[in-house]
Amino acid sequence: MSEKIYQTTQIEGKLSTIHITYSGDPSTGPVLLFYHAEFLNSDLCFGPLLDHPLFKEYLASKFAIVCIDAPGHNENSKDIDKEEKVFSIDNLMSEVDTVVNTLGIEEFVSISCGWLGTYLFLNYALANSNKFRGMVFIGGSLEACNWFEWSTNKVLETSIKWGFFGAWQAGKIVERYLPSEWIEKNKSTCSKIEKKIKQLNPIALHKCFEFCSSRLNVEKKISSLEILCLNYAGGLSINYEQSLEINSLIETGYSSLINLSHCGTLITVQEPISIIDPLCQFLKGCGFTSVKSPSIKEIKIWKAKEK
């Protein structure tokens, strides 16, 4: 993410140091609070969206931006103890609490990606619904550990045992999130993503896999939430069916679905322009009436560039 707009800092949590990226003054609001997908971090997951000129013009100028990295998921992080249970829902919720309280955030709109961000914010909302002005899910999922996660977990276990986490593993993570055709056409971008993934702490990634396979379901509780939600579903995402299910579980009238048939899970990387206009419209509906939307001409220009 651009250092000209976004700053990084660290806050001490109960079990690990919390790495955040932010812009603006979160204590005066309004705030967009981001949490990334599993096996990535805020920069990998949201960087292209947050650096997009239209996002900066229409949203970063109106909102304070706060991105939380999962334990050990910022680049070159060493601060993870093999014995600490940093990946438990209680600890992750505690870290969100620590960030919210330390920065003086009274309320926010959450924006999450993948199952990690979605699962965390849904649990946090069930306990703290008064803090939410809205919730945004991008390629969200509540699915239990699937074959990909199980098999990759075994590879990671071996990698950690031998002190190695390299190109093959990073490539598999990229394949998880982006369509094969897009990867083929954007080899340079994908190579940069893989390079950054290789800098993540493999112990933290392994703990993240374990958390995925052991987490409890929240499906039956979601319908009790009365928070406006915006749900982006990529038709080529491995989470597509789950994204649709999340939308169906939320109380009728509280959720809107944006179905992007040609996208994978990381719409924020593949086609960020498709996130921005619906997000602006959604935020207006959440009561932020000063938010304006890009013009049709601007959207067409950027969509042509991102094809």
8: phi then psi, degrees, rounded to nearest 5 = -120, 150
Tell me whether residue 269 is in a domain: yes
Alpha-carbon gap, residue 260 to 271, rounded angstroms = 10
Parent domain of 118: 7-144+218-306
Which range is least confidently modeled, 33-37, 45-49, 78-82, 284-288?
78-82
Tell me whether residue 250 is in a domain: yes
Tell me whether residue 266 is in a domain: yes
Q: What does the pLDDT read at residue 152?
A: 66
Count of the separate structural domains present in the chain = 1
Query: What pLDDT, in 10s, does the model give residues 21-32?
Result: 999 999 998 999
The pTM (predicted TM-score) of the whole model is 0.92
Query: What pLDDT, in 10s, does the model give residues 215-227?
Result: 666 766 788 888 9
Tell me whether residue 66 is in a domain: yes
Match 């969200």 to its residue by tokens: 140
Return the CA Rg of the chain.
18
Whole-angstrom CA distances from 200 to 12, 37, 93, 142, 204 are 19, 14, 22, 24, 8
Instruction: Name the average pLDDT for the chain.
Output: 87
- CA-closest candidate to residue 136, choices 72, 4, 232: 232
Specify the CATH number for the domain of residue 138. Answer: 3.40.50.1820
Tell me whether residue 150 is in a domain: no
Tell me whether residue 225 is in a domain: yes
Tell me whether residue 107 is in a domain: yes
Of 185 and 156, more confident? 185
Identify the burial level of 186 via C-beta atoms within 10 angstroms of its C-beta, where 0-12 means exposed, 13-18 middle and 19 or more buried: middle
Tell me whether residue 263 is in a domain: yes
Query: What pLDDT, in 10s, does the model give residues 36-78?
Result: 998 899 999 999 999 999 999 999 999 999 999 998 887 656 5
